Amino acid sequence: MQRAETFYLPPPTMPADVWDGLPAGERVLRWTEIHTQRRLPDIPREQTSEPLYARIDAGRWIAECDCGAGHVVSPTDPHMLCTVCVDGWHPVVFPAFPDAIEAQIDHQPRRHQFWYHPADVRWQAERRLLEAQAAAEAQDGDS
């Protein structure tokens, strides 16, 4: 599973370990600044916004802002600052045991590695749809 610290890496022109001291939630900011060639405002972590739920999407832990932008996140630093609306640091709600969730789906192909937080009502309909599609595919395979 990819987390912010393995997804947002410095460019090849920088030492590979240059971001090792950065909290995972801040790696997306440095990565975005480099790849979009724009500076992001310095928002203190004390400036918070609504909590977001982490989910696994095609093998990546992500959180999606209300504006629709999503970023790869990590349970090692459960915070996200959306680089699109820059509305404040969102606390990110992970399951109690993220490693156990990863272990449940790690054997599946990346395109099938999805998990939704049970308390996140926004994604329950999509979760049910994916489960129905997977069941239909399994049934077609048995025919």
> What pLDDT is stored for residue 142 in this prediction?
67
pLDDT > 70 in the chain, percent: 98
Is residue 64 predicted with pLDDT exceeding 70? yes
> How far apart are the C-alpha atoms of 84 and 104, rounded to whole Å?
32
Is residue 123 predicted with pLDDT exceeding 80? no
Burial tier of 143 (Cβ tally within 10 Å: 0-12, 13-18, 19+): exposed
Q: Stretch 9-17: mean pLDDT, rounded?
A: 95
Is residue 55 predicted with pLDDT exceeding 80? yes
Which range (41-45, 49-53, 67-71, 117-121) has the least confidence?
A: 117-121
CA angle 107, 108, 112 (to 5 degrees): 155
Which range (19-23, 91-95, 136-140) has the least confidence?
A: 136-140
> What pLDDT is stored for residue 129 in this prediction?
83
Q: Stretch 56-64: mean pLDDT, rounded?
A: 96
> What pLDDT is stored for residue 130 in this prediction?
80
- Residue from 131, 127, 111 nearest 59 by CA: 111
Q: Which residue has the higher pLDDT, 39 or 143?
A: 39
List the structure tokens of 83.
Answer: 């680089």
Which range (31-35, 101-105, 116-120, 121-125) has the least confidence?
A: 121-125
> What pLDDT is stored for residue 143 in this prediction?
59
